[in-house]
Amino acid sequence: MQRIDYPKREDWSRLLERPTQTVVDIEGTVLSIFQEVKEGGDTIVKKYTEKFDGAKLDSMVVGQKELDQAAEKVSANLKNAIALAKSNIEKFHKAQATTKIEVETMPGVLCWQEKRPIQKVGLYIPGGTAPLFSTILMLAVPAKLAGCEEIILCTPPNEAGEINPAVLYTAHLCGVTQIFKVGGIQAIAGMAFGTETIPQVYKIFGPGNQYVTVAKQLATKYGVAIDMPAGPSELLVVADDMADAAFVASDLLSQAEHGVDSQVILVSTSEKLLDVVSEEIEEQLKVLPRKEIAEKAIANSRLFLVENDETAVDLINAYGPEHYIVCVENEDYYIENTINAGSVFIGNYTPESAGDYASGTNHTLPTNGYAKQYSGVNLNSFMKSMTFQKITKEGIQGIGKAVELMAEAEGLQAHKNAMTLRIKSLTE
Q: What is the CA radius of gyration of the chain?
A: 25
Going from the N-terminus, what domains does the chain have, and what CATH number goes with each? Answer: 2-18+232-360 (3.40.50.1980), 23-100+115-231 (3.40.50.1980), 392-427 (1.20.5.1300)
Task: Give the model confidence (pLDDT) of 104-158 as tens digits.
Answer: 999 999 999 999 999 999 999 998 667 899 999 999 999 999 999 999 999 999 9
- Mean pLDDT on 15-25: 79
The chain-wide mean pLDDT, for the chain, equals 95
Contact between 221 and 90 under an 8 Å Cβ cutoff? The reply is: no
Task: Give the model confidence (pLDDT) of 193-206 as tens digits.
Answer: 999 999 999 999 99
Alpha carbon distances (Å) from 190 to 46, 122, 138, 329, 390: 11, 10, 22, 49, 41
pLDDT of residue 22: 64
SS3 312: helix
pLDDT band at 23 (very low <50, low <70, confident <90, very high): confident
- Mean pLDDT on 88-114: 97
Sheet of 383-391: strand order equals 101-106, 109-117, 383-391
User: Which range among 18-32, 153-167, 321-335 shows the weakest confidence by mean pLDDT?
Assistant: 18-32
pLDDT of residue 21: 61
Task: Give the model confidence (pLDDT) of 45-76 as tens digits.
Answer: 999 999 999 999 999 999 999 999 999 999 99
- Strand 203-205 and strand 178-181: the pairing is unpaired
Which active-site residues does the annotation give?
322-323
Is the pLDDT at 323 greater than 90? The verdict is: yes
Sheet of 178-181: strand order equals 178-181, 150-155, 120-124, 203-205, 225-226
Q: Give me the half-sphere count of Cα atoms (radius 13 Å) on the Cβ side of residue 100.
A: 9
Is the pLDDT at 19 greater than 70? The verdict is: yes
pLDDT band at 231 (very low <50, low <70, confident <90, very high): confident
